[in-house]
A = this chain, B = another copy of it.
Amino acid sequence: LPYLGKMKIILVKIGGFVLDQPALYSTFLEQFSSIPASKILVHGGGRRATTLTQQLGLEPKIVDGRRITDDATLEIVTMVYAGLINKNITADLQANGCNAMGLSGADGDLIHAHKRIHPSIDFGWAGDIDKINTAFLEDLLLKGNTPVIAPITHDGKGQLFNTNADTIASAVAAALCLHHDVTLLYCFEHKGLLGNPGNPEEVIPVIKSSKVQSLIDKGIISGGMIPKVHNIQASLQQGVNRVILCAATDVKQILENADYATGTIFTL
């Protein structure tokens, strides 16, 4: 019989900001490795996919501000996300004593997706998530492994997809919280949600999900932050126990101190 107990799971999402800065990256890895609970890392891309695209003389295709994943782009993100970045993070976590295991959504059938359907735009090989294989993740966590998930998914018919890493983090947290206590930390370039976008020290410590729309209306949450808070709202609505937006280098402080002296905690 499989293990039916409730685990405490910390799921951390990091993006390009941390990956592109060696000192931050190194501090983050140390902090992440020292988390005593079961943990999962979801990573995004960083500048490297763009650099490689340019080196190969290819033009990024952007429609309505959104990147189109054509055949060449899918190959590049598969190489950079699931290869270069994923394996380097895995090796670096191993060096920190964390038994990491790098995974794409195809590995162990972890994340099923389908090609994005849109009335007017063909996003190419952009994948929207159907299903997370939580049994596989639970099994790895129980063995003491730390899954490190690259933002590549598959359809079970041999097609890989490019899938947003924030969305993967949200979907994995939502799937696991059905049976476990899940804390989701979205790490980004600030210490939390800023009450005044001009002042990086003015962090809103706690915000109710229902208040998010008014901050969007006032322009306090704007641009790339909008899809991020929508992912956070979706996670909470699906039962994720707590969602925190914070700096990658504050992960340790946030998890060790119940007073949440830094970061923004989102509540339902």
From the candidates B92, B100, B104, name the one contacting A87 in the complex (CB within 8 A): B104
A145-185 CB mask vs B (1 if < 8 Å, else 0) is 10000001010111110000000000000000000000000
Contacts of A88 in B (CB 8 A): 78, 160
> Chain B residues near A101 (CB, 8 Å)?
103, 107-108
Chain A: interface size category: 35 or more
Collect the chain B residues with CB atoms within 8 Å of residue A81's CB: 83
Interface residues of A in 66-96 (CB under 8 A from B): 75, 78-84, 86-88, 90-92, 94-95
Which 9 residue pairs across A and B have the least CB separation, nearest first?
A83-B83, A79-B79, A95-B158, A79-B83, A91-B106, A91-B154, A90-B106, A82-B83, A101-B108
- How many subunits of this chain does the assembly comprise? 2
In the complex, the answer to whether A107 meets B90 with C-beta atoms within 8 Å is yes
Cβ distance A154 to chain B, nearest Cβ, rounded Å: 4
In the assembled complex, the CB of A101 is this many whole angstroms from the nearest CB of chain B, namely 5
Q: Are B95 and A102 in contact (CB under 8 A)?
A: no
Q: Give every chain B residue within 8 A of A94 (Cβ-Cβ).
A: 106, 109, 154, 156, 158
A-B contact pairs, 11 of them (CB 8 A): A75-B84, A78-B84, A79-B84, A82-B86, A83-B83, A91-B160, A94-B109, A99-B108, A99-B109, A101-B107, A139-B143
Residues of B near A157 (CB, < 8 A) are 95
Q: How far is the CB of A126 from chain B (nearest CB, A)?
A: 16
Contacts of A63 in B (CB 8 A): none
CB nearest to A156 among chain B residues: B94
Residue ID in chain B nearest A143 by CB atoms? B139
Residues of B within 8 A of A145 (CB): 108
B-chain residues with CB within 8 Å of residue A62 when the two chains form the complex: none
Contact string, A213-229, partner B, CB cutoff 8 A, digits 1/0? 00000000000000000
List B contacts of A156 (CB < 8 A): 94-95
Give the CA-CA distance A49 to B94 in the complex, in Å: 26
Interface flags, A124-153, vs B, CB<8A=1, else 0: 000000000000000100010100000010
Of A90, A145, A156, A159, the most chain B CB neighbours within 10 A belong to A90
Known pairs A101-B108, A139-B143; list 4 more (Cβ under 8 Å). A90-B104, A100-B108, A102-B106, A103-B107
